[in-house]
Amino acid sequence: MTSARPDADRPVDGCGAQRPTGGAVTVDEAERWARAAWSALAEPGDVVAGALLDALGAVEAWRWLLEAPHRPPAHLDGLGTELARGRLVRAIERWTPRAAVLAAHGWGSATPAPEVAPFVAPGTRGGPAAVHVLVPGDARWPVGLTDLGAAAPACLWVRGDPDALADGADRPRRAVALVGARAATAYGERVVADLAGGLADAGVVVTSGGAYGIDAAAHRGALVRGGRTVVVAAGGVDRAYPAGNARLVEEAVATGGAVIGEVPPGALPTRSRFLQRNRLIAALSQVTVVVEAAWRSGALSTAHHAARLARPVGAVPGPVTSMASAGCHRLLRDGVAVCVTDAAEVLELAGPAGAAAPEPGDPRGPRPLDGVGPREQRVHDALGTRRGRPLEEIARDAGLTTRETATALGLLELAGAALRDASGWRTHA
Amino acid sequence: MTSARPDADRPVDGCGAQRPTGGAVTVDEAERWARAAWSALAEPGDVVAGALLDALGAVEAWRWLLEAPHRPPAHLDGLGTELARGRLVRAIERWTPRAAVLAAHGWGSATPAPEVAPFVAPGTRGGPAAVHVLVPGDARWPVGLTDLGAAAPACLWVRGDPDALADGADRPRRAVALVGARAATAYGERVVADLAGGLADAGVVVTSGGAYGIDAAAHRGALVRGGRTVVVAAGGVDRAYPAGNARLVEEAVATGGAVIGEVPPGALPTRSRFLQRNRLIAALSQVTVVVEAAWRSGALSTAHHAARLARPVGAVPGPVTSMASAGCHRLLRDGVAVCVTDAAEVLELAGPAGAAAPEPGDPRGPRPLDGVGPREQRVHDALGTRRGRPLEEIARDAGLTTRETATALGLLELAGAALRDASGWRTHA
């Protein structure tokens, strides 16, 4: 997708979004609010949007999109591969109606759109509860997000301390994701609270998804010990989901933590946004630990995202008689996760404080699935790692029909991200 | 040690013990009872004795030993390496007093010694409870023992069905060791009983050490489901240790299983025999699974023996809040064991029914620590696998002084079985 330059006679250098370079870069405010508009337009994890922002910059990409319906149908001829052109055409089709509505509501100008202005206006809401919009190039942009490649969010909406997750070279901060089942047991809640407390004592930020069960116990465990915790929301940061955890979220925000989202305030958490949110938790954390998870669980998806980003993954074992630990044992058996039993072992996975994240292009770094869609991502998550899995199993785990799964597998195979062996489909890893 | 031929002008071929070749070999009865005498003379795991039996055969080795005190002191000059000669001289010193006593009691002749004759005389005790003496070359000699190299037992004393563990190519039988803590929890006993029952249903023989706790629950779990189970004893097979498990042992013997030992009936289980017994459990089983084990536990030693024999090792996880599972989690973290949660996963480790064991010399096969003593074995067990461990930690785990440990490490390093790195000592693996 990165080879597609939709407007090839326009110079790309200099007008693209600045890539984070490790130091602070002054970000153009028009670019910031154009990225905010893209975060309202494109669904989380839309790699076509990500590639377009990388290639043109958000301001230019927005302008180009609004003009697209008025260009001759053949304007993309000869650009990029046929596959990339096809995907861009379909993306324009899905973006255009929503872009028109957003533009009519003032999105995509050089200033905040009216509907989010009250959240982001300095001083209006005052103090740490105001919403910040971070974009690549900001000193506080978490460098770990860069590993997501084209799937990186257009911007981050941060309610609370925007420093909470800053992990740049100048202010190294460690974050560990503690995730798990909503239907947690008393054992799981006790263990995750202990882990979170131990991590807080070590100055580590605890990230999680703000859900009931393990997530809530993780946030609470960090707060009880005076630590910072970050809630990664699937919807807008102005609301808590579930509402029953609203007080917990406010406490996180009030104590040096934050609630972070990639869609604007007011946006609803949808099913696909929950799935994409998991990649964000993984990318924002140096280590992801699954405490309790059923055999099929969103927490496993977070773990697989972390593994794909070449981040260490831990799993807390539990009784084999408890279905709430079955997903953890599965991660251990599959070699995706290392067995961890206390905070010290989690810290060991995180490595020494201030250890630099791998630079992009570093061979230790990730190999993101460049240019594949969310459906392919889900299918990729369900692939075997050491040996192939049958189509039916993959379809079941990905929550897709076998026909959809087969199509996605074909794309992944073409992209070199899936391999067929005697027992089925697996990743190359 | 195998290079030492104490009596170099005597032809070795033809008088040595037959090595198992996969098919049935007629074993000379004099050789059988000479091996039985060696099993009374040399302590389990005495690799000097093992190498001597391999080189000369048991009959000749026994004769050579009894003549040794009458030979000129220089009779070993020029044979083998200095290290091997030194070890042989010390071995003769420790064997000679006991050999004289044994010979006086009729051991080492071509027939059973009077004190064990009642156990082994066909018909005297009748039926399956009679004691059989198996030696290498017998069709029923478990081929897995060959992997122990010079540390293989001189013979096996088997009370019960000598076929119970026959794993030769002509009668493939799978055996899985289920081992663990004496101080087991209700959770551990329930899980191991389920595993043993599932393995019994699949026709797998359950081996264990006959101790209280996990071992007893494993044997019982197999018996309850009509399976065969083998008790590997640290002392003579005529007695149950602990006595409280005597009925359990008799039931194992009466239902197609056996109790197996490598010291003669009447021999006491000593501390060092318990430690050596663990290598036997591992070598007699295709897979070793640890169900519950404290941080330091004999079951971990069995697991490490199995790993050194290149056999799959499983560990059953449990609550991280339970110290009884700490050893299992340690095995998982160290990468020694795979996480297993039910009998199907254990069977997966065992591979397909009837799968051939690797041939000796097969690159998949083991690399036994040829010619090192029990102290070095214990130090080797305590080495790191992926990264070095400090001397003090190794000494603590091996139960030796740091001085003894350092000496053993020196020997292991010379033997190419230990490697020093920045963080300490590790195996080559």
The mean-pLDDT minimum among A171-185, B78-92, B251-265 falls in B78-92
Q: How far is A293 from chain B (nearest CA, A)?
A: 14
Inter-chain CB proximity B332 and A317 less than 8 Å: yes
- Name the phi and psi angles at A120, rounded to 5: -105, -10
Distance of alpha carbon B277 from alpha carbon B291, whole angstroms? 18
Here the tokens at position A400 are 């897709």
Q: How far is B157 from chain A (nearest CA, A)?
A: 37
Residue B365, in any domain of the structure:
no
B338 touching A (Cβ < 8 Å): yes
A187 touching B (Cβ < 8 Å): yes
A317 touching B (Cβ < 8 Å): yes
B342 touching A (Cβ < 8 Å): yes
In this model, does residue B292 exceed pLDDT 80?
A: yes
Q: Which residues from chain A sit within 8 angstroms of residue B320, using beta carbons? A: 191, 316-318, 341-342
Where among A350, A382, A402 does a domain terminate? A350
Residue A323, in any domain of the structure:
yes
| CATH number, position B412 | 1.10.10.10
Q: Which residues from chain B sit within 8 angstroms of residue A187, using beta carbons? A: 319, 321
Q: How many CB atoms lie within 10 A of CB B387?
A: 11
Where do the H-state alpha helices sit in A183-270? 186-201, 214-224, 246-254
- Name the phi and psi angles at B373, rounded to 5: -85, 175
Inter-chain CB proximity B341 and A326 less than 8 Å: yes
Residue of A190, A317, A345 lying closest to B317 (CB–CB): A317
B26 touching A (Cβ < 8 Å): no
Residues A193, A273, single domain; the answer is yes
Residues B161, B272, single domain; the answer is yes
Inter-chain CB proximity A317 and B333 less than 8 Å: no
B104 touching A (Cβ < 8 Å): no
Here the tokens at position B388 are 């070095």
Residue A155, in any domain of the structure:
yes
In this model, does residue B276 exceed pLDDT 60?
A: yes
Residues B95, B236, single domain; the answer is no
Chain B CA closest to residue A187: B319
Residue A224, in any domain of the structure:
yes
In this model, does residue A364 exceed pLDDT 90?
A: no
B387 touching A (Cβ < 8 Å): no
The interface predicted TM-score of the complex, written ipTM, equals: 0.72
Residue B164, in any domain of the structure:
yes
Average pLDDT over residues A338-362: 73
Inter-chain CB proximity A339 and B339 less than 8 Å: yes
| Residue ranges with strand state E in A203-310 | 205-208, 229-232, 258-261, 287-290
Inter-chain CB proximity B339 and A329 less than 8 Å: yes
Please report the pLDDT score of residue A76 as a whole number.
Answer: 66
Here the tokens at position B169 are 């190519």
Average pLDDT over residues B148-170: 86
Chain B CA closest to residue A317: B317
Average pLDDT over residues A405-418: 74
Please report the pLDDT score of residue B147 as a whole number.
Answer: 93
Of A213, A210, A211, A208, nearest to A185 by C-alpha is A213
Of the pLDDT bands very low, low, confident and very high (cuts 50, 70, 90), residue B120 is: confident
Distance of alpha carbon B408 from alpha carbon B380, whole angstroms? 9
In this model, does residue B111 exceed pLDDT 80?
A: yes
Q: Distance of CA A184 to CAs A213, A314, A322, B77, B319, Å? A: 5, 17, 10, 71, 14
A185 touching B (Cβ < 8 Å): no
Q: How many CB atoms lie within 10 A of CB A98?
A: 14
Q: Which residues from chain A sit within 8 angstroms of residue B191, using beta carbons? A: 320-321
Q: Which residues from chain A sit within 8 angstroms of residue B319, using beta carbons? A: 187, 317-319
The mean-pLDDT minimum among A314-318, B130-134, B298-302, B401-405 falls in B401-405
Q: Which residues from chain B sit within 8 angstroms of residue A341, using beta carbons? A: 320, 326, 329, 333
Residue of B329, B340, B341 lying closest to A341 (CB–CB): B329
Residues B105, B135, single domain; the answer is no
Residue type, B158: V
Q: Distance of CA A34 to CAs A31, A372, B307, Å? A: 5, 24, 58
Count: domains in chain A: 3
For residue A65, the enclosing domain spans 29-111
Say which residues have a Cβ less than 8 Å from residue B63's Cβ, sequence separation at least 6.
Answer: none
Residues A327, A399, single domain; the answer is no
Residue B209, in any domain of the structure:
yes
Residues B392, B333, single domain; the answer is no
Strand A258-261 to A287-290 pairing: unpaired
Inter-chain CB proximity B333 and A338 less than 8 Å: yes
Inter-chain CB proximity A317 and B340 less than 8 Å: no
A321 touching B (Cβ < 8 Å): yes
Residue of B191, B319, B329 lying closest to A339 (CB–CB): B329
pLDDT digits (tens, 9 = 90+) for A22-59: 444 567 899 999 999 999 999 999 999 999 998 899 99
In this model, does residue A234 exceed pLDDT 90?
A: yes
Q: Which residues from chain B sit within 8 angstroms of residue A316, using beta carbons? A: 320
Q: Which residues from chain B sit within 8 angstroms of residue A325, using beta carbons? A: 317
Residues A401, A330, single domain; the answer is no
Please report the pLDDT score of residue B74 as a whole number.
Answer: 67
pLDDT digits (tens, 9 = 90+) for A91-112: 998 999 899 999 999 999 999 9
B317 touching A (Cβ < 8 Å): yes
Say which residues have a Cβ less than 8 Å from residue B372's Cβ, sequence separation at least 6.
Answer: B47, B380, B411, B412, B415, B417
Residues A417, A296, single domain; the answer is no
Where among B80, B111, B142 does a domain terminate? B111
pLDDT digits (tens, 9 = 90+) for B173-214: 799 999 999 999 999 999 999 999 999 999 999 999 999 999
Of the pLDDT bands very low, low, confident and very high (cuts 50, 70, 90), residue A74 is: low
Q: Count residue pairs from A and B with Cβ separation < 8 A.
A: 57
Residues A305, A421, single domain; the answer is no
Chain A interface, mutation test: which of B323, B334, B341, most A Cβ atoms within 10 Å? B341
Average pLDDT over residues B143-170: 87
Looking at per-residue pLDDT, the higher value among B176 and B421 belongs to B176
Residue B285, in any domain of the structure:
yes
Q: What is the mean pLDDT of chain A?
A: 84
Residues A75, A209, single domain; the answer is no
Chain B CA closest to residue A190: B321
pLDDT > 70: percent of chain A: 81
pLDDT digits (tens, 9 = 90+) for A142-153: 989 999 999 999
Please report the pLDDT score of residue B372 as a whole number.
Answer: 63
Average pLDDT over residues A172-182: 90
Of the pLDDT bands very low, low, confident and very high (cuts 50, 70, 90), residue B158 is: very high
Please report the pLDDT score of residue B39 as a whole number.
Answer: 98
In this model, does residue B1 exceed pLDDT 60?
A: no
Please report the pLDDT score of residue A6 as a whole number.
Answer: 39
Three-state SS at B381: helix
Please report the pLDDT score of residue A24 as a whole number.
Answer: 46
Query: What is the enclosing helix (H) or strand (E) of B131?
Result: strand B131-134
Average pLDDT over residues B122-138: 72
Contact A87, A1 (CB under 8 A): yes
Residues A319, A195, single domain; the answer is yes
Average pLDDT over residues B310-315: 96
Contact B200, B341 (CB under 8 A): no
Please report the pLDDT score of residue A172 as a whole number.
Answer: 58
Distance of alpha carbon B317 from alpha carbon B328, whole angstroms? 6
Residue B12, in any domain of the structure:
no
B100 touching A (Cβ < 8 Å): no
Residue in the structure block whose two tokens are 């919807």: A235
A337 touching B (Cβ < 8 Å): no
| CATH number, position B212 | 3.40.50.450
Chain A CA closest to residue B188: A319
Residues A252, A164, single domain; the answer is yes
Inter-chain CB proximity A333 and B342 less than 8 Å: no
Q: What is the mean pLDDT of chain B?
A: 84
Chain B interface, mutation test: which of A178, A185, A291, A332, most B Cβ atoms within 10 Å? A332
Contact A234, A273 (CB under 8 A): yes
Q: How far is A182 from chain B (nearest CA, A)?
A: 19
pLDDT digits (tens, 9 = 90+) for B24-45: 456 789 999 999 999 999 999 9
Here the tokens at position A323 are 């279905």
Inter-chain CB proximity A318 and B320 less than 8 Å: yes
